[in-house]
Amino acid sequence: MEGTVGTGNYVHKTKLNLRTDFFNKADEWLADDYNYSSLCMITFDIQNFHFFNKWYGREAGDMLLKAVGDFLYNIEQSGEAICGYIGGDNFSVLFGYNGYMINKITDNLQEIVRAYAKNDLSISAAFGAYKYAEGDNKYSAVEIYDYTVDALKNLKDSNINWIDPSIVQKREEELRMLPEIINALDNNEFIFFLQPKCHLKTRKIIGSEALVRWISPTRGMVPPGYFISLLEDHGLITSLDLLIWEQVCAKIREWMDEGLYVPPISVNVSRVDILQLDVPLTFEHLTKKYNLEPNRIEIEITESAYTDDEAKIINTVNRLHQAGFKVLIDDFGSGYSSLNILKDIPADVLKLDMKFLGDHNQTDSKGNSIIESVLEMSRRLHIPSIIEGVEHEEQVLNLMDLGCEFAQGYYYYKPMPQDDFKMLITNDSIVGKKAPDKTTRITEKSHLQQFYEYFVKAADVNINSGKYTFLKTDSLHREINVPEASTIKEYAERFINLGIIHHDDVAGYIKLFDKDYLLKRIANGSNKFLHSLRYFKDGKYEWVLFEITVPNDFDPIDNPTLLFTWKNIGVRYQSSEDLLYLLSLNFHKLLRVNLESQRFESLHVNKDELTKKKGYSEKIGLWLKNFAKTGNVHSDDVENYLKFANTKKMQKHFEKSDEPLSISYRRLVGEEFVTVTMTICKSLQYTKQRPIVLLYLKD
């Protein structure tokens, strides 16, 4: 902004250090035996100062600058800081980092600007700030100043932006690499490796993914993690991708000409490509040039791309599709947008990554249930899926159990040079022809309906304020969230207090509503939290997977929104449970009981039963006894009732017989005694080791 605003008069009048003096003095301070890590620099500018000049005149502009300058001059006179006028509407201050000084400077400057700008809220003070860290003495004052300007440019919601030395360092390293990369693009130092995609069970190769590698004469082989996002940030990824796509097409042509069967190769398309190129047209040209059927090439677009320019991306995918290219949604489930993607985009294959599906070394039931539910969803939508990042044999066995068909990962093959891949596909017996293919797609409407069925509830939650917005709710929500709970935690507690969340599942559940706990885990790198729980609905407990998704662009201050979802995972139990549900309509109470462990759970409890005081023991034997002893059973029937309520005796009976056991007794309902029958019968799951029975109460 230097030189573009103001009359230039101010610079002649100010008593403040001018640019060069300021930097020299600051460097002297820094060179002094001073504790660097306790210094900070704040650079200040006036937002929309050119408008201020336009509206109030340049004289007024100079007056404002003078007021600011006078204030800063006094600060410097106190000996606590070095202040400078850099030019235009830019001032900078170097001082010992302390909250009091920071507030004194920022508050006063803001006040001065407000006083001059009267009621124009668009004219305000903005601050870019840098706090020195250990080892920062290698930077000169002018370098630090540049960082503060950078921070100022990237100001978000608040009027001060502190820049982190680690961000600065990373950016610096990257920027140093940038000219090298541009050079490398010219020198054709980028090639691609191929990583086979396999049939999970037979291990046959059904395709592969082209993954770029930089073969640098000085650095050796550099994986894409080091340069992709940098190239994206500088709009250069497109040049690289065009290069790789063409290399891939040329290679397929070459191998086909040698008479090889080449299973489809997928390439990665960055969101930047979609914004900068006509991607469908590019692929049409390429396939024409190399005389390839479009089904030889598959296109991977990462899920996070869909959040950017939705309309453009949806359009691109549709056109790719029409031209005969398969589109894979890469890293499906990693981000926020999973839901909407499936609603809007005709994806051909979902690509799930083990690392987004919970701890990939774990084969525990929770990890399973998430993979299972995603697989279930993809099956329901008739979209095939492939799991990548498969590393261990246990994972494979597990994935087989879950009905997964295709996989990519180190367990099968690591990404490899093209010639190694060629050797593999030369061997007919390791190439499979059965690729992930879409079965008939259900009509859009039922597809949507099924999709929404998949979630019981979904909400956006601001983790800082606890405020929430439900994207989808169920009937219970509408019943219970009146009046509306003010925070998501309060919301969850309401369901817990009403017994809607099974008491065994409460502890792990409520923890996930603790802001500090979540933020700490997120800071340590967690991006998903899962908890399966039993949720009481329509007269029975259903297994629900509660899931918190941390969006890719989550930021604890600027974008503190998390996605909370509740989804049904009781698919396996569903059919038998439905039957039970029909039966249960006739019952006051229906429990599933393990006679051996004496544990039990309610499958159905009438509403009036639900409100009865809880607090009985969790063992069924004791529970029944307490029920009688607290006056619920007519005194004349208590003796018989207690004899009946002997679980050891029941167990003996069922070892020999399939006949149900039952007893009639008078039971207190409201003010009067009513005769009811309690029946206990073997469940379908009954075994000697796990003697599971059903207990029901009927009029």
Q: Does position 221 bind ligand C2E by CB under 6 A?
A: no
Total residues in contact with Ca ion, by rule CB under 5 A:
5
Q: Is 237 in the site for ligand C2E (CB under 6 A)?
A: yes
Residue 41 pairs in a beta bridge with 94, 130
Q: Find the binder of ligand C2E among 261, 410, 517, 573 (CB under 6 A).
A: 410
Task: Work out whether 195 is an interface residue with ligand C2E (CB under 6 A).
Answer: yes
223 in contact with ligand C2E (CB under 6 A): yes
Please identify, using beta-carbon distances, which residue of 299 and 501 lies nearer to ligand C2E.
299
Nearer to ligand C2E, 300 or 577 (CB): 300
> In terms of CB distance, is 216 or 268 closer to Ca ion?
268
Q: What is the DSSP letter of 139?
A: S
Under rule CB under 5 A, residue 330 binds Ca ion = yes
330 binds ligand C2E (CB under 6 A): yes
Site of tokens 């959040």: 307
Among 21-29, 315-323, 382-390, 462-470, the segment contacting ligand C2E (CB under 6 A):
382-390
What is the per-residue DSSP string for 258-315? TT-----EEEEE-HHHHHHS-HHHHHHHHHHHTT--GGGEEEEEEGGGGGTSHHHHHH
Residue 231: CB minimum distance to ligand C2E, A: 8
Please give the Cα distance from 442 to 158 (Å, whole number).
47
List the 600-605 sheet strands across, edge first: 600-605, 589-594, 692-698, 672-682, 661-669
Q: Is there binding between residue 284 and ligand C2E (CB under 6 A)?
A: no
String of contacts with Ca ion for each residue 256-295, x by CB under 5 A: ------------x---------------------------
Identified binder of ligand C2E from the candidate list 244, 458, 569, 605, rule CB under 6 A: 244
Site membership for ligand C2E, residue 391 (CB under 6 A): yes
Give the span between the Cα atoms of 552 and 404, in whole angstroms: 26
Binding mask 290-319 for Ca ion (x = CB under 5 A): ----------x-------------------
Among 66, 70, 224, 451, binds ligand C2E (CB under 6 A): 224
Instruction: Copy the structure tokens of residue 352.
Output: 């799930």
> Taking CB under 6 A as the criterion, which residues in 587-646 touch ligand C2E?
none
Q: Mark residues 346-375: x for contact with Ca ion by CB under 5 A, - for none.
A: -------x----------------------
CA dihedral 416, 418, 422, 425 (to 10 degrees): 50
Decide if residue 331 touches Ca ion (CB under 5 A). Answer: yes
Q: How far is the CB of 90 from ligand C2E (least distance, A)?
A: 38
Spatial neighbors of 519 by CB under 8 A, at least 6 apart, are 463, 556
User: Which partner from the list ligand C2E, Ca ion, none does 560 bind, CB cut-off 5 to 8 Å by kind?
Assistant: none
Phi-psi region of 675 (alpha: psi -120 to 50; beta: other; left: phi over 0): beta
d(CA 697, CA 660): 13
Query: What's the min distance (Å) between Cβ of 601 and ligand C2E?
Result: 39
In total, the chain counts a number of residues equal to 699
Alpha helices for 585-646 (secondary structure H) = 607-610, 620-627, 638-644
Given 196, 264, 367, 415, the residue binding ligand C2E (CB under 6 A):
415
> Which residues, in sequence order, are CB contacts of 354 under 8 Å at separation 6+?
360, 387, 388, 389, 390, 391, 395, 409
Shortest Å distance, C-beta 251 to ligand C2E: 13
Single out the residue of 604, 589, 520, 519 nearest to residue 560, CA to CA. 519
> 106 touches which of ligand C2E, Ca ion, none (CB within 5 to 8 A by kind)?
none
Taking CA atoms, 203 is separated from 146, 386, 396, 408, in Å, by: 55, 13, 11, 10
Other CB atoms closer than 10 Å to residue 517's CB: what's the count?
12
The residue count for binding ligand C2E (CB under 6 A) is: 24
Q: Does 228 bind ligand C2E (CB under 6 A)?
A: yes
Interface with Ca ion, residue 136, by CB under 5 A: no
Asked whether the beta carbons of 507 and 492 are under 8 A apart, the reply is no
User: Of 615, 678, 622, 616, whose CA–CA distance to 646 is shortest?
Assistant: 622
Nearer to ligand C2E, 300 or 376 (CB): 300
Q: Closer to Ca ion at the Cβ: 352 or 562?
A: 352
Judged by beta carbon distances under 5 to 8 A according to partner kind, the member of Ca ion, ligand C2E, none in contact with residue 228 is ligand C2E
Sheet holding 17-18, edge to edge: 17-18, 81-87, 90-96, 39-47, 124-131, 160-163
Where does residue 640 fall: left (phi above 0), alpha (psi -120 to 50 degrees), or beta otherwise? Answer: alpha
Q: Which residue's Cβ lies closest to Ca ion?
A: 300
Chain residues binding ligand C2E by CB under 6 A are 195, 211-212, 223-225, 228, 237, 241, 244, 268, 270, 300, 302, 330-331, 388-391, 408-410, 415
